[in-house]
Amino acid sequence: MNERHITGLTASKGPKRSRRQLTRQLRNNLEGMLLVIPALLLITIFAIIPMIYALFSSVYDVSLYTGTEFVGFENYQRVLHDTVFWSTFKTAFRYMLYVIPASLLLAFMLANLMIRIPKKAAGIFKASIYIPNVISGVITSVIFIFIYDYDSGLANVLLEKIGIKRIGWVTDTKYAMLAVAIPAIWMSLGGTTLIMLSGLNDIPTVYYEAASIDGANAFQQLYKITLPSMRNVFIYLLVTSIVGSMQVFELPNLITHGGPLYSTTTPNLHIYTHFINDTSLGYTVAASLVIFLLLAGLTAVIFRLISSEKSME
Amino acid sequence: MRKAVALFLTIALLLVCIPNAFAARTTIIFWHYPQDEYSDAWWEEWIEEYNNSQNEVYVELEWVPMDGWNVKLKGAQAAGTAPDIYGMPLADAGRNVTNGTVLAFDEYVDPAIWEDLTDVARQYTYINGSYWSFPRYLEPSAMLLWRKDLFEAAGLDPEMPPTTWDELIETGKKLKTDTCWGLHIPTNEADIGWTTWGMQYGLSGSLALNDDWSKSRMSELEGYHQLANFFNDVYWANIAPEQAIYGYGSIDALCENRCAMLMTGSWSLATVLIDYPEMVDKIGVSHFPTPDGSYDHATASMGGYCVLMDKLTEHPQECADFLVWMFTRDPAVMYDFFERSHFSKFSPWKSVESMIAQADTYSINPWLETVMDTVIPYSIPEPIYPWEVTYAFGRAVNRILLEGYDAEEALRIADDEVNKYIENFGLAGQNLKN
């Protein structure tokens, strides 16, 4: 079998097409390509070229004012031997553990509540729960900085009301991650709930009717109908939350500045701190590329799982 | 048709001439971050005066918020759009010399102007045989402010502040109430690190790095152990908030009855005099307590601000001329600044110092004598080594407070962190010389 057969070119030949048909197909292809060009240009300018430049820069000791010096893989060695760099991944993982389960569980409960209440009330509920989604991370951070004020912040005032000692929310390693996670959950809850709600609405009501006739109780309906039907929604939310959590920056940067003792320094915040403080950009660029590769790998694995036949059953 | 041609020619002529008219005046971009109102007003008014005094140069002052300063400046430097001149803390002159981002003024000014610099200021600006900055003011970083009325209410002598660390903690316990902390000190790692530079030196006889910056030696210096343990003692005495109520630069906690004693810098004195005049009689000022009560060794570092010139500026001569006009042409310009600050800051220029000496400063600033006699003479210049070294000490303190490490182990970890940084960034041998 020659190469033409393998690539399927022979199969696509079929009956001879007229010249007019070929011209029309060519024109269609051309139109498609023209439509793709702007996106391709943007990707080239803002993703491909910077990526090539970053790869090039990562093997140099890049200084903004004093010239550059070729250092080979020295920057990568520094990154890979930096214990703080690796600890940022643990931090991101801790952040995920705080935010994702709580966010999914709360959203699932709220979505279930919303489909059970009257339409008008549900509308108001939806709008109010979505508001934090449209508030910027900066504003959210400022709001929570006030809430975490040691003396007069709402959080400590409430704790004192129930007889618990005040907490140094942003200066104590035990609570700093929680202090970042709470606003993160608050911000993401609206979007997650609405996606869950649309997933719940897609489940045909006849399933539940049939289950009721068969004598299934609410828990059995949840376990046998709702959760399996929502699997792809859960997977989608899980994937986007994991990738989003790995890239979180704004909240820890503004609320805890990555501290105390690096306990809220996420990978992106670590890169940012090096960009601001280092005399050369080599470490920053190399660390960015390593994080990019790790994230790309993680995303590829997750998407591989999602697109597998098993997940589509 | 002729009208249209005439109109076209007129517009073309205007388009050619107008840019030339503007181009005749060189524009200098000057970045500074907003500080106190009086300080910002001083810049704005005198820059306007300078712009009106000649037609060659126009200085465009841009206020860049402090919290976005680093990223904006770094971004501008990366994009080749950095300002021609910019304000910075005094010690950052040294860091910028190391980074190669600033241009020396030697070629652009009469060398005689530098003879007017005080010795302290010269340590900051004269590096590796060149002058790199125009210092604006000096100020000690750490003192103790206390509320006399709250001392009286607690049965303490309002004129007798604690002088030793033990007294400070005992006094704090007596002053603490349900709504008012006994003491307010910094709690985040960066603030713990830099506000104690003076104490680190005063207790140890040196700072964290050895002379050629090849090694961190915090764990070897007894003073660092003492200081770290002092923070631990304050923490466990429960006299200070675990999380600072206000930033280190703020006086508000003291003036709003939320603490009875406050660790802060001399800039706070101007804030009391300007924003809280009713509190002037209720506030006392002293050097920060020491282990043995003596103040004849450093308890504070002498910081301040200066103006630097970007290495890539296209108008170095114009920048230098403007700064000479502001800082050395007429001491009255700088005197105006110190007068506005109620003499809470100190001049790096001898001629201005002389003018200030003629003024009735002690009646304007009732705490000036204390600061001049017990804090300033023993203050040390701020270190110019990278911030990572300073943060490492802050983290050591937090390891003791939050993670239960002992001082020896926490400081050893700090040394390891700094030594790794020295290795990674080739810091050894980079210490700059005056």
Domain A82-312 sits in CATH 1.10.3720.10: yes
- pLDDT of B6 reads 62
- pLDDT of B11 reads 64
Contact across the interface for A151 and B258, Cβ inside 8 Å: yes
A260 contact residues in B (CB cutoff 8 A): 188-189, 395, 398, 402
Length of chain A: 313
- pLDDT of A144 reads 96
B418, B203 Cβ separation under 8 angstroms: no
- Adjacent-strand bridge partners of B264: B143
Domains and CATH numbers, chain B: 21-139+303-366 (3.40.190.10), 143-299+381-424 (3.40.190.10)
- pLDDT of B65 reads 93
Q: In one letter, which amino acid is B260?
A: A
Q: Which tens digits make up the pLDDT trace of A219-265?
A: 999 999 999 999 889 988 998 899 899 889 999 999 999 989 999 99
Helix B331-340 / helix B316-327 crossing angle, nearest 10 deg:
60
How large is the C-alpha radius of gyration of chain A?
26
Q: Which tens digits make up the pLDDT trace of A183-233?
A: 999 999 999 999 999 999 999 999 999 999 999 999 999 999 999 999 889
- pLDDT of A3 reads 42
pLDDT confidence band for A2 (50 / 70 / 90): very low
Which tokens hold the place of A209? Answer: 């009717």
- pLDDT of B4 reads 64
ipTM for the predicted complex comes to: 0.82
Residue B348's CB: how many other CB atoms inside 10 A?
A: 29
The three-class DSSP label of residue B140 is strand
B77 contact residues in A (CB cutoff 8 A): 64-65
In a 13 Å sphere around the CA of B145, the CA atoms on its Cβ side amount to 33
A164 contact residues in B (CB cutoff 8 A): none
- pLDDT of B16 reads 53
- pLDDT of B298 reads 94
pLDDT confidence band for A23 (50 / 70 / 90): confident
- pLDDT of A152 reads 87
Element at A185 (helix H, strand E): helix A176-201
Give the residue range(s) of CATH 1.10.3720.10 domains in chain A.
82-312
Q: Is A11 on the interface with B (CB under 8 A)?
A: no
Å between A184 CA and nearest CA of chain B: 22
Q: How far apart are CA B126 and CA B119, in angstroms?
A: 10
Q: How far apart are CA A10 and CA A4, in angstroms?
A: 6
A252 contact residues in B (CB cutoff 8 A): none
Q: Which tens digits make up the pLDDT trace of A50-71?
A: 999 999 989 998 887 877 889 9
B245 contact residues in A (CB cutoff 8 A): 149-151
Å between A298 CA and nearest CA of chain B: 29
Residue A267, preceding bond cis, omega within 30 degrees? Answer: no
Read off the DSSP letter of residue B183.
Answer: -
- pLDDT of A6 reads 41
Per-residue pLDDT tens listing for chain B (434 residues): 566 666 666 666 555 555 454 557 899 999 999 999 999 999 999 999 999 999 999 999 999 998 889 889 988 988 889 999 999 999 888 888 888 899 999 999 999 999 999 998 999 999 989 999 999 999 999 999 999 999 999 999 999 999 999 999 999 999 999 999 999 999 999 999 999 999 999 999 999 999 999 999 999 999 999 999 999 999 999 999 999 999 998 999 999 999 999 999 999 999 999 999 999 999 999 999 999 999 889 999 999 999 999 999 999 999 999 999 999 999 999 999 999 999 999 999 999 999 999 998 988 999 999 999 999 999 999 998 988 999 999 999 999 999 999 999 999 999 999 999 998 888 898 887 65
**Residue B134 CB partners (closer than 8 Å, separation 6+):** B105, B125, B306, B307, B323, B326, B327
Work out the end-to-end distance of chain A between its first and last CA atoms, rounded to an integer number of angstroms. 36
Which tokens hold the place of B281? Answer: 């009689």
- pLDDT of B187 reads 92
Listed residue (B87, B227, B208) closest to B165, CA to CA: B227
pLDDT confidence band for A311 (50 / 70 / 90): very low
Q: Which tens digits make up the pLDDT trace of A102-149?
A: 999 999 999 999 988 888 898 898 888 899 988 999 999 999 999 999
Read off the DSSP letter of residue B59.
Answer: E
- pLDDT of A5 reads 44
Give the E-state strand segments of chain A in sequence order.
60-62, 68-70
- pLDDT of A1 reads 40
- pLDDT of B210 reads 94
Test the B interface: residue of A149, A261, A273 with most B CBs within 10 Å:
A261
More confident residue, A5 or B365: B365
The three-class DSSP label of residue A206 is helix
Work out the end-to-end distance of chain B between its first and last CA atoms, rounded to an integer number of angstroms. 73
Test the B interface: residue of A63, A171, A178 with most B CBs within 10 Å:
A171
Q: Which tens digits make up the pLDDT trace of A269-309?
A: 999 999 888 878 889 999 999 999 998 898 888 778 776 55
B188 contact residues in A (CB cutoff 8 A): 171, 257, 259-260
Interface of B to A at Cβ within 8 Å reads 70-71, 74, 77-78, 98-101, 187-190, 241-245, 258, 311-312, 386-388, 395, 398-399, 402-403, 424-425
